[in-house]
Amino acid sequence: MKQFKEEKNLYLSDKQPLSISKKFFLMMSYIILICWAIVIIWPLFQMILSAFNGKQEQYLTLNDPFVFSFKHFKYLFQETLFLKWTQNTLFIALATAVLTLIIVSFTGYAYSRYRFKGKKVSLMAMMLIQAIPTFAGITAYFTMYSVISAINPAFTRQMMLVLIYAGGGIANNTFILKGYIDSISTELDDAAKIDGCSNLQIYRLIIMPIVKPMLALIALWSFIGPFMDYLLPKVLLTNPESYTLAAGLFTLINDIRTINQPAFAAGGLLTSIPVVILFIVLQKQLVSGLAKGSVKG
């Protein structure tokens, strides 16, 4: 043990110092990273500052003195449908995340562990579907909505959005989860079968606990999507009361009748709260997945 420590210290002490060129590239890397951080942080800082600045009126200006106030938040809750937009977005985001997780957990496991006819063709078809822009299928979405709503009048445009988001997420995340499950040794499955476990028990008791970090990441991606997307809600949702946060808040900067840029900044700040809360809840799973990946192999 003592000899090992001496060899380790010797190795560290014998490490060659950085050359002038390496020092230059290291310095340039730090400069680029610092500049990139400023580019990202500065708009966020201005958004937070404007959201709480009572001196800001309809338009954002950088030269107004700062006076702490909640008036822009009061405007959101009293003069707009912000609470309704939040409710709509949370419903769509949660439904999308749950539906995507349930289906992807089965499809990823099936494509990884089973051999069946049409497996390669269906995987290739899912990959090609991802190459088609979402907006290109807007006519098909309206047609599907008309057919489904004719059969079931209770089917809403928000439910249609859930199907669109989940459909796109399932195709993409199936590839990701399949690759993750492929890295799990099939010897675990064989040992469980020897102990009398069925395929469903193997899926529930062995595979799912191992892939929890990846499922947490998929849930986070699926949840964030409806918060970030503006185009589809704006096209499919025609009633302002059915808008999501992205479509609703956009009316505060593109409609001259309701324009209020500081309130838009306040709404953007509040919109980030559910995403941050979910990230904190899933942080343990996400970090454990990164730690496992760092020592894998």
User: Residue range 13-32: average pLDDT?
Assistant: 81
- Identify the DSSP state of 68: B
The correct answer on CATH 1.10.3720.10 for the domain covering 82-294 is yes
**Which residue in the block uniquely carries the two structure tokens 């959201």?**
51
Residue among 221, 88, 224 at smallest CA distance from 157: 88
Q: Name which of 238, 272, 222 is nearest 158 in CA terms.
A: 238
Does pLDDT of 147 surpass 50?
yes
Assign 278 a pLDDT band (cuts: 50, 70, 90): confident
Give per-residue pLDDT as tens, 79-102. 889 999 999 999 999 999 999 999
Read off the pTM.
0.81
pLDDT in tens, 5-14: 444 454 445 5
Mean pLDDT along residues 111-133? 80
CA distance from start to end of the chain: 26
Domains in the chain: boundaries: 82-294
Query: Which of 193, 55, 171 has its CA nearest to residue 113?
Result: 193
Alpha-helical runs (H) found in the chain: 2-13, 20-51, 71-79, 82-113, 119-130, 138-151, 157-182, 187-194, 199-202, 208-210, 212-228, 231-236, 245-254, 261-294
What's the sign of the alpha-carbon dihedral 200, 202, 205, 210?
Answer: negative
Each residue's pLDDT tens digit, 212-271: 888 888 988 899 989 988 888 888 888 889 999 999 999 888 877 778 888 898 998 999
Mean local confidence (pLDDT), 201-221: 87
Whether residue 284 is predicted with pLDDT greater than 60 in this model: the reply is yes
